[in-house]
Amino acid sequence: MSETTFESPLDRAIDDLWERRGELTPDDTQARKTIVGAVDAIDAGEARVAQVAADGAVVVDERAKRAILLSFKVLPMVESAAGDFRFHDRVPLKTRFDGVRVVPGAIVRWGAHVEPGAVLMPSYTNIGGYVGAGTLVDTWATVGSCAQVGRNVHLSGGVGLGGVLEPPSAVPVVVEDDAFVGSRCMVVEGARVRRGAKLGAGAILTASTHVFDAVTGEEYPRGEVPERAVAVGSSRVRSFPAGDFAMPCILVLRTLDEGEIHDKLALNDILREHGVAS
């Protein structure tokens, strides 16, 4: 967490409602109005669940998270439809996509913000999520609740960014600007892919995953792919009373130069160089 002073743009009344959340019901019209207004602000990008501060740490807006959690208390179950599909839920689907390309099959829930210039293939973005301009959310990728995705990111096919809602102080998954997350990667539990990093296909990154440098053996902070790193999923042998077992980890093959641009073909070349890709 950052020590940077942060003031939520959302109504302080959300904090008071949180303290009496056990009493709230859909019949409490004033509470519902306040909570819906707060989530509308998140939906519009006027507030967001988390962001990277100037010191590089992730700052969480607990009030934004509280508003999302409270919405489940005060919104009634409602039937809705999208074409021939029928739904029954408390949270409606997002209806405004100014400047966003939304391919049929893409689903975004109200309370998620997608910046103009993003492209959503058939995918799923949950409440509280944030998708930056120029980002491609590819087919069957999932942006979990409150996951924060920066600008010019490529979430490849089948990527799963886990959702983090409770407790309100918990840091969500963060994928920073210019990152690439390979097909079928799983990034969960508030893990972080830093600016310009490239994560090879099939890697699993959790908040407790060990991250090592393949050249120096240096261990980086757990659960984080370093800035501009080219990294892949790997394993290391650990001894237990029952025997030796391979435990998952992340291996940093190389760190790109500042400003160095690597398209997917160049990334494949790096992976082939290390015997990771065929």
Domain coordinates of the chain in residue numbers? Answer: 12-76, 94-274
CA distances from 250 to 185, 188, 207, 233 (A): 12, 14, 12, 5
pLDDT-based confidence at residue 275 (cuts at 50, 70, 90): low
The H or E element containing residue 252 is: strand 243-255
182-213 tens-digit pLDDT: 999 999 999 999 999 999 999 999 999 999 99
Say what the pTM is: 0.92
CA distances from 40 to 68, 80, 233 (A): 10, 19, 38
Sheet holding 219-220, edge to edge: 101-102, 119-120, 136-137, 154-155, 180-181, 198-199, 229-240, 243-255, 211-213, 219-220
Neighbouring residues of 275: CB distance < 8 A, sequence distance ≥ 6: none
Rounded Cα–Cα distance for residues 267 and 233 (Å):
15
CATH of domain 12-76: 1.10.166.10
CATH of domain 94-274: 2.160.10.10
112-136 tens-digit pLDDT: 999 999 999 999 999 999 999 999 9
